[in-house]
Chains A and B, each alone.
Chain A
Amino acid sequence: MWYEIFKFELKYRAKRPDTYIYFGIVFLYAIIAVDFLFEGNLDPIQRNAPIVIARTMGIISALFMMITSMIMGVAALRDFDHRIASLIFINPINKKDYLLGRFLGSLVILLFIFSGLLGGMILGDIMPWVDQNTILPFNFWHYFQPFICLVVPTLFFGGAIFFVTGALSRKLIVVYTQGIFFLMIYLLTINLAKDSDYNLFTAFIDPFTFQNISITTQFWSVAERNSLVIPFEGILMYNRLFWITIGIISLIIGYYKFKFTVISDKIKKQQALITLDVTKEIVDHYNNVRLPSLTMNSTEGIKFKTTQLLTQALFNFKSIIKGLPFWTIVLCALGIILLSSFDLGTSFGVDSYPTTYIVIGELIENTVLFFLLIIIFYSGELVWKDRDNNINGISDTLPISDFVNLSAKLIALLSATTILIFIIISSGIIFQTAKGYYNYQLDLYFIGFFVEVFPFLFLLSIICFLIQALLNHKFLAHIIVVTFIFVSTILLNILGYDHGLYSFGGSDLGAYSDMNGYGHFIEPFIWFKIYWISFSLVLFIFAALISIRGAETNIISRCKVVKIRLSKRLKILTIICVLVFGISGVYIFYNTNILNIYSTTATENIHRAEYEKNLKKYVYLKQPKIVDINLVIDLYPSKRSFEAKGYFILVNTHDLLINEIHVQKKPQEQINLTYVDFEGGYNLNTKYETYGYHIYELHKPLKPGDSIKMKFKQDYVNQGFTEKSNTDIVYNGTFFNNFYFPTIGYNDNIELDDDKEREKHNLKPKIRRAKINDSRALLQGRSGGDGEEINFEIIIGTESDQIGVAPGYLQKEWIDGNRKYYHYKMDKPMSNFYSILSAEYQVKKDQWNSLNTDEAVDLEIYYHKGHEYNLNRMMNGMKKSFDYFTKHFSPYQYKQMRIVESTSYKKRAQSFPNIVPFSESIGFIMDINDEEDVDMPFYITAHEMAHQWWGHQVNPADVQGRGMLSETLAQYAAIMVLKQEYPEEKVRQFIETERKRYLKGRAAEKGQEMPLYLVESGQEYIHYGKGALNMYAFQDYITEDSVNIALKRFIRDWDSFEGIKKKNTKNYPTTLELLKYFKEVTPDSMQYVINDLFETVTLYSNRVKKANFKKVSDKKYAVNITIEAQKYKVDSLGIKVPIGINDWIDIGIYTEDNGYKEITYLQKHKITNRNTVLQILVDKKPVSAGIDPKHILIDKNVDDNVMHLTEK
């Protein structure tokens, strides 16, 4: 019998257009899904790599849970909805057959619909817009395996749950809303995944598996990602089994709970009650009551319309907030807020204080989907409210205009979102309070939600209403809205069309900074919103005019009545909106495209490519070097502009005449190079003017060793507004560096970086760093040939409420009118790398005094008022750094050190001569809990202090390995300072984050993973991450003192200004030099370590296979462990090659003391075989033991390094 029902279901569905519409949606979406979901950011992973296919399928099956719900949810509900249940249920069918037939029939249809995924994705990979270089050879298994293993189980459990809820609730609204529940699960998994500690748990419960996939493959190499199919085993298999079980359980529950009756008990009761009431007391007032006469004098005019509008709005609003779905959404949103681990500006695993703007950012990020949900869902409900209740015959004849009617729905919808906003704001405040943070900044909450988010909600609501009004199909309209959001936000960006005049809604407000507030972002933001809101109002009026009223549903006949419906008032309103739209559009265009130059990324790329093609020939042209810099800069922060004039002294360091000097203006339209003047006269060759490249042909050639003065003046002026505006020169928190000023010669920073883009313009892949033995590159340091050591003097003028700061020592400070001036001068040569900052600063002062010598350094921190939290930690960081570095490396070259706070636009700290600009978002507002966190303000300070040595004393040559000499050594130095100040666990905790950084970074490497000593640009994961790991390992092997001796010698010989060897060469040092010093201090038995750590890419796979212990005597325990150690080298093609092991590796044994794990045995053993059995005697009762317990070596999986011991 069930088979008959099954067949009937298939036949019925086969005739329904919905089935094919859904299939079409899935199919079409699958074609473009990869482009949408990954936004073209896949490189170096191929577009059709198995992992990409699997993730895409996972995400689509999640996104289209709505379809699953519609198909499965209505399967048993349909009979009730169409009110033929009584006809069906009187037939001799039993419950089992009925449910089974319906379920399986619908499931088959569902599988048919989602089979569109397979076809669509296969077709998508051969679409004309797909670059066939990004495609692996076609392999059907790559598509079919994830479909069967991932999608089918998802459809099964989703279908089972939806089928059961639909059948039990018998309400269409439930079918619609249960998608929300799944959305919540989806969000939950994403949120949990953010916090890496829950990785395994997340992978296990993720219903759609796409998080699971990224977790299981997080350390996969590029080669693996491009070839391996996700193995259906382990956590993935358990996950699928878990969800299939959930599906089966829900089917069983459904079977027992489902009642084969027409009316559910609840409704029966209610009706009985009322019928009783009626019969109880029939009072026939008929004869006594007369209908009163009515005045009805106010059915005209605005007042009446306003009354109607407000009444309708209130009525609609009540219908939303009385309903369960709304509160379900609100509760889900709150649940997400509660459960999600807020990313409180977290860096290095450390949270910031829950300042209002961070909390707002997180609140919005976590809840934006719920706003979308409310708008998409309720726009449909409101538009369909009358028709769904079949009251439209009555309501459509009310004397209320279509515009008033739809406006009332819009107001109701926005009021409902406002309720959600207030609830979210309250939860934000509660969150802050719970964290002990009381500076609520309600004005920021207001701006964040009502200025930034609300216009977006408004626009989206209008789009939803428009689409609902156009289409006579609620659910189809939902899907189109979702598609629209994707297209409008992602597609245009991919195509590079990002102007706010045509990307719907305009751009976001932009980043908030405590120092600069929303700065200059507000003005363009408001204009774009005016533009889009007026546009959408026209759409809204149109939506009102064509909305369905009465029996006419055909779109053509609705269009015919538009004219009749368009009242005079509406005409005027439309005209006003069109005018506002036009005027604001013109004004925006005037600002962004006429006052400023608007260029898409594509045109910018062409410019860069042309620059390289035309001018690369000059890259090694002999040019003089800058040796003196003298600047006068007048900053006008409130206008976001400055004027600079001054001079460079250039010296011909070459042994031939220099006839022409090439000057490159920074290619930024706000910068205007007013004049450049050379002593002795010149001819200006303007052939390359378009690139800002000026060739000055000197009247008097510059002889070897001679110098020349180059005077120049430039200004930086902002006119009007642009969309992506400059964040260096701002109202409060100006911070820019020497690259704003003219540079000498060809500037390869202007070149295109991205190799894909370069290929498009027929350029060879960019060389990420010159080869380590490139003789011409060895002559350049970090400044890239412009001049490396300079004398520096500057006068900064700024507005009187700000302080201007730059390298050097303050010579003089004065006030002139409402402006303040600061004169800085460095008393000795310094790196050609300087910064200029200005803001309303508070200053904290202190002094460091050497313990051994009479050295003293003045310390200052310039900070934003309110950011006092970590000043002491930073101050301490400076002092401890000076203690360590002066003792172990060399004396500090300056008499003063300053940390200067900069805005959150750049999230980094940077070390300039005697000054470190330090972003507000990475150290100043970190909330350090000394129990749990690493003291990152302390650490970052130490790292930047270390650059005064590694960077400013030793200037590395601009070749491979440059990052190791500056960043890796700064990491090492800072870790050593941390180690002095804090216990070992804190250091380990820090190293652990660097280990993950390295492993994740190498998995995403697009080119070749270089060994540390040849690290190239763009390989931060190597010079920071691996650098920290391996330097730590190195000092663990040869001792901290030995490393420091090597570094001391290195700095003695290679200091840029006084180095013994540096004085005799024009070359800057490379890692080859450094490794010589390392080798000097390393015993022969450990020399292999240098090769492993620095000269090659070495990985280990270490684990404990078996471990137990035996009590030998009263205070003697024998620990037996079997360990497996495998060592690999990664060759230049990225292939992991196992090699024989002959290494010293830590073996550790832990005991437990008062619940704390304590290491009782830690010794390096020489491991010579893959499998080794060791017996070790310890004094205390051991609990666990393992190989490399401190994770000194790089091992993808360190969880199996230590094993719990069993007693034998």
Chain B
Amino acid sequence: MNSLLISNLSKTYANGVKALDKVSLTIPVGMFGLLGPNGAGKSTLMRTIATLQEPDQGLITLGELNVLTQKNEVRKILGYLPQEFGLYPRVSAKSLLEHLAVLKGISNRKERKEIVEALLYKTNLYTDRNKNLGGFSGGMKRRFGIAQALLANPKLIIVDEPTAGLDPAERNRFYNLLSELGENTIVILSTHIVDDVKELCPNMAIINRGKVLLQGSPSKTIADIQDKVYAKTIEKQQIKQYKEEYNVIAEKLLSGKPIIHILSDTDPKDDFVPIKAELSDVYFSQIFAKTE
């Protein structure tokens, strides 16, 4: 399987928002994490790859396929789970899955039955397979969404914030499933949960405001800032002052008191302690540091 090449992709919405700004990425087979805050342009990028949106300029190719013009060819090998979606309320999970399977080209009745059942098991919907989707809870709907995205042996899987609404056990199951598939499939996973990417993805990119800020493997990007991250517990009213003095990349609370992380090439002293860098530090350093 070839890798997915994105070059110079730009998109500006009618209201002036620049959702993608000359995005270029190379996405190889395997899991690929797309990190970024809300409104970073992740979904626009995912939709564009999923044939649902036209860029203003740029090119996307998947091997021989031009994703922007050979949409139907791409759709044949695509599995897509949108960030937000609904389902037909008066259809059962099984029959909708069967229906989608036919449309995706699984014409062999026996095979169709097998894959549908397998996916229903995998997504833990088997017991509810004959119930109308209208009665499904948010988590069940999302699991159904996962099931449909995996129908028909997709070669390109795009999942947009897939674990929102799933409980931890379900989340684990899903990620296992994805990484199994990721062995010979391109899986693009968009999320703002940094740990997911760290655990699953050999490759990742961070985007914000339509731009790719960083692309590489999580471990390498962590290594790049290793020994440069320091932490300190401070008082609330001091935050502002510290932000002015240091390159603060993160702040969190511990027992109600703020802990700040800063990025510094040299030891800042001043009671800061060096800590082991995490992917989240990479992420925040990209998001915040550059924007100041």
Interface set of A (CB-CB < 8 Å, partner B): 270-271, 273-275, 277-278, 281-286, 288-296, 298-299, 304, 307-308, 311-312, 315, 319, 322, 385, 389-391, 393-394, 396-401, 549-552, 554, 557, 560-561, 564-565
| Contacting residues of chain B (84-128) with chain A, CB-CB under 8 angstroms | 84-90, 99-100, 102-108, 111, 114-115, 118-119, 121-122, 124, 126-128
Is the pair B53, A308 in contact by a Cβ cutoff of 8 Å? no
Q: Is the CB of A294 within 8 A of B106?
A: yes
Q: Are B135 and A550 in contact (CB under 8 A)?
A: no
With a cutoff of 8 Å between Cβ atoms, the chain A residues found around residue B148 in the complex are 394
Nearest neighbor of B107 in chain A, beta-carbon distance: A298
10 smallest CB-CB distances across A and B, nearest first, come from A550-B52, A390-B86, A393-B82, A299-B105, A285-B121, A399-B75, A399-B76, A289-B121, A551-B53, A292-B114
The distance from the CB of A461 to the nearest CB of chain B, in whole angstroms, is 22
**Closest CB in chain A relative to B59 CB, distance in Å:** 14
Residues B103 and A312 in contact, CB atoms below 8 Å apart:
yes
Within 8 A of A (CB), among B142-157: 145, 148-150, 152-153
Contact yes or no, B102 A552, CB < 8 A: no
Choose one: B100, B107, B111, B135; the contact of A273 (CB below 8 Å): B135
Are B104 and A398 interface neighbours, CB within 8 A?
yes
CA distance A554 to B90 in the complex (A): 31
**With known contacts A296-B106, A308-B103, A390–B84 Cβ distance under 8 A:** yes
List the B side residues contacting A308 at CB < 8 Å.
102-103
Cα distance A286–B276 in the bound complex, in angstroms: 35
| A285-B122, A554-B14, A561-B54 known; A304 vs B128 contact (CB < 8 Å) | no
Q: For residue A398, which residues in chain B have a CB less than 8 angstroms away from its CB?
A: 75, 100, 103-104
- The answer to whether B88 touches A295, judged by C-beta atoms less than 8 angstroms apart, is no
Inter-chain contact A285/B126, CB cutoff 8 Å: yes
Is A397 a contact of B119 with CB atoms below 8 Å? no
Complex CA distance for A294 and B137, rounded to whole angstroms: 30
Question: In the assembly, what is the distance between CA of A385 and CA of B135, in Å?
Answer: 18
| B72 interface residue (CB < 8 Å to A) | yes
Instruction: Check A291 against B127 for contact (C-beta < 8 Å).
Output: no
CB of A278 within 8 A of CB of B135, answer no
Question: Complex Cα distance A397/B85, Å?
Answer: 13
- Check A307–B75 contact: CB distance below 8 A: no
- Residue with the highest number of chain A CB atoms closer than 10 Å, among B75, B82, B90, B105: B105
Measured CB to CB, the closest approach of chain A to B138, in angstroms, equals 11
Given A294-B153, A550-B52, list of 15 further CB < 8 A pairs?
Answer: A273-B135, A277-B131, A278-B124, A283-B127, A285-B122, A286-B177, A291-B150, A292-B114, A311-B103, A397-B51, A397-B75, A397-B78, A399-B103, A550-B51, A564-B71
- A282: chain B residues at CB < 8 Å are 124
- Between B80, B89, B103, the greatest number of chain A beta carbons within 10 A of the residue's beta carbon is seen for B103
Could you tell me if A551 and B52 are in contact, using CB atoms closer than 8 angstroms?
A: yes
- List the A residue with the shortest CB-CB distance to B89: A389
Task: Give the shortest distance, in Å, between A107 (CB) and chain B (any CB).
Answer: 32
Closest Cβ of chain B to A470, distance in Å, is: 18
Whether the Cβ atoms of B121 and A286 lie closer than 8 Å is yes
Q: Are A389 and B127 in contact (CB under 8 A)?
A: no
Interface of A is mostly: loop
Q: Determine how close the nearest CB of chain B comes to the CB of A407; give it in whole angstroms.
A: 14
Most buried by B among A281, A288, A294: A294
CB distance from A75 to the nearest CB of B (A): 24
Which chain A residue shows the least CB distance to B69?
Answer: A564
Chain A min CB distance to B99 (Å):
6
Question: In this assembly, does B198 line the interface, its C-beta being within 8 Å of a C-beta of chain A?
Answer: no
Assuming the contacts A294-B111, A397-B78, asked whether A281 and B127 have C-beta atoms less than 8 A apart, the reply is yes
In contact, B145 and A394 (Cβ under 8 angstroms): yes
Q: Which residues of B contact A (CB under 8 A)?
A: 14, 47, 50-54, 68-69, 71-72, 75-76, 78, 80-82, 84-90, 99-100, 102-108, 111, 114-115, 118-119, 121-122, 124, 126-128, 131, 134-137, 140, 145, 148-150, 152-153, 173, 176-177
Contact flag A295-B108 (CB < 8 Å), given A286-B122, A391-B86, A397-B75: yes
The residues of B that contact A322 with a CB separation of less than 8 Å are: 90
Say whether, besides A282-B124, A291-B118, A294-B106, A389 and B87 are in contact (CB < 8 Å): yes
Partner of B80, one of A389, A390, A394: A394
Q: How far apart sit A389 and B89, CA to CA, in the bound complex (Å)? A: 8
How far is A292 from B110 in the complex, measured between Cα atoms in Å? 11
Q: Contact check: which of B51, B105, B115, B136 meets A291 at CB < 8 Å?
A: B115
Q: Across the interface, do B173 and A286 meet the contact criterion of CB distance under 8 Å?
A: yes
> With the chains together, A396 CA to B121 CA distance in Å?
25
**Distance between Cα atoms of A271 and B75 in the complex (Å):** 34
Q: Which one, A274, A307, A397, contacts B102 given CB within 8 A?
A: A307
Partner of A275, one of B105, B111, B137: B137
A311 touches B102 (CB 8 A): yes
Residue of A nearest to B139 (CB): A278
Contact A551 B137 (CB under 8 A): no
**Which residue of B75, B100, B126, B128 contacts A274 across the interface (Cβ within 8 Å)?**
B128
**In contact, B119 and A291 (Cβ under 8 angstroms):** yes
Determine which of B84, B111, B176 lies in contact with A295 in the assembled complex, contact meaning CB atoms within 8 Å. B111
- The answer, among A277, A296, A311, for a CB contact under 8 Å with B128, is A277
CB B82 to nearest CB in A, in angstroms, measures: 3
Query: Are B114 and A551 in contact, CB atoms less than 8 angstroms apart?
Result: no
Residues of A within 8 A of B76 (CB): 299, 399
Q: Determine how close the nearest CB of chain A comes to the CB of B210; give it in whole angstroms.
A: 16
CA distance A296 to B108 in the complex (A): 8
Closest chain-A Cβ to B184's Cβ sits at a distance in Å of 12
Q: List 24 A-B contacts (CB under 8 A).
A: A274-B136, A277-B127, A277-B128, A286-B121, A286-B124, A286-B176, A286-B177, A289-B121, A294-B115, A296-B153, A299-B76, A299-B105, A307-B102, A312-B103, A319-B88, A389-B87, A393-B85, A396-B51, A397-B78, A399-B76, A399-B104, A551-B53, A552-B52, A564-B68
Contact B121 A393 (CB under 8 A): no
Q: In the assembly, what is the distance between CA of A564 and CA of B128, in Å?
A: 41
Docked complex Cα distance between A560 and B56 (Å): 11
Known: A274-B131, A304-B107. A393 touches B80 (CB 8 A): yes
Q: Is B121 within 8 A of A391, CB to CB?
A: no
Q: Which residue of B lies closest to A280 (CB)?
A: B127
A residues in contact with B14, CB < 8 Å = 554
A399 to chain B, nearest CB (A): 4
The answer to whether A283 touches B126 (Cβ under 8 A) is yes
Chain B residues whose CB sits within 8 angstroms of the CB of A312 once the complex forms: 103
Residues of chain A contacted by B88 (CB below 8 angstroms): 319, 385, 389, 391
Is B111's CB under 8 angstroms from A292's CB? yes
Query: How many angstroms from the CA of A560 to the CA of B121 in the assembled complex?
Result: 43
